[in-house]
Amino acid sequence: MTTLAFDVYGTLIDTAGVTTALRQHVGDNAVTFSNLWRQKQLEYTWRYGLMGHYQDFNICTQQALAYCCDQLECDISLADQKTLMDGYLELPAFNDVMDGLEALKSAGIEMYAFSNGRPTDLSALLDHAQITPYLSGVVSVHPKQTFKPNPVVYQHFVDSSGASREDCWLVSSNGFDVCGAVSVDMKAIWIQRNNAVKFDHWTQRPTKVIDSFSKLKNIFV
């Protein structure tokens, strides 16, 4: 049976959803702040993974927020930083997600969330975005104490879902995630929502490329 592993942050969930809240604190710098926050959040996961000194995704996000405050010289109080962090549990789904999930669910496709996030945070986030009912389960990298694209986390997904690797497809808008899956012989779909964003010039290439989550039904339904 075909099993889909959906990346969460940046694929199902729009991390730019925090921009509205940021405007209250940094005004016109909100988009710049949001983009840097996401960039540093991912950078910290890679650093901790390479160092073998695991800190969970929430800590990476919190430390990235503090960095942005310093780098962009934004005086956001610790209380307001906590409020922004709490907002990470209430980020919205992308507009194209529900249509895709509905079609795939109707076709009987097995679907999981597969993320760097902590299990409790993922549950809260996916419940808030009303995605949970479509999923057969949620697989976090947290038990492996490392992050994507470490090969062990993709094997962890295969083991947790009970699917065969040949039947597993990763679906992600993050190029590094796609490369990680393909490098361990999983199939992978890259969602290129922005034409200005190009895929890495690596030997690992997406199995398929689409520009909208809703177009998954053209592949599997």
Tens digit of each residue's pLDDT (9 = 90 or more) over 142-151: 999 999 999 9
For helices 30-51 and 19-26, give the axis angle rounded to 10 degrees. Answer: 110
From 87, 104, 136, give the residue that closes a domain: 87
pLDDT tens-digit series, residues 154-169: 999 999 999 999 999 9
Contact 37, 217 (CB under 8 A): no
pLDDT at 78: 96
Nearest-angstrom CA–CA distance, 137 and 124: 13
- Which CATH number does the domain housing residue 183 bear? 3.40.50.1000
pLDDT at 1: 85
Q: Do 7 and 27 reside in the same domain of the chain?
A: no
Which of 71, 12, 5, 8 has its CA nearest to residue 37?
Answer: 71
Q: Do 109 and 174 reside in the same domain of the chain?
A: yes
Q: Do 158 and 69 reside in the same domain of the chain?
A: no
From 87, 110, 132, give the residue that closes a domain: 87
Name the percent of the chain in helix, strand, coil, to the closest 5: 55, 15, 35
Q: Do 69 and 133 reside in the same domain of the chain?
A: no
Nearest-angstrom CA–CA distance, 5 and 3: 7
Local structure of residue 117 (DSSP, 8 states) = S
- Which CATH number does the domain housing residue 53 bear? 1.10.150.240
Residues of the chain with pLDDT under 50: none
Q: Do 23 and 7 reside in the same domain of the chain?
A: no
Q: Do 140 and 210 reside in the same domain of the chain?
A: yes
Catalytic residues: 7
R_g of the chain, CA atoms, integer Å:
17
Nearest-angstrom CA–CA distance, 2 and 179: 20
Q: Do 125 and 67 reside in the same domain of the chain?
A: no
Domain of residue 52, residue span: 15-87
The model's pTM: 0.96
Q: Do 73 and 7 reside in the same domain of the chain?
A: no
From 87, 117, 148, give the residue that closes a domain: 87
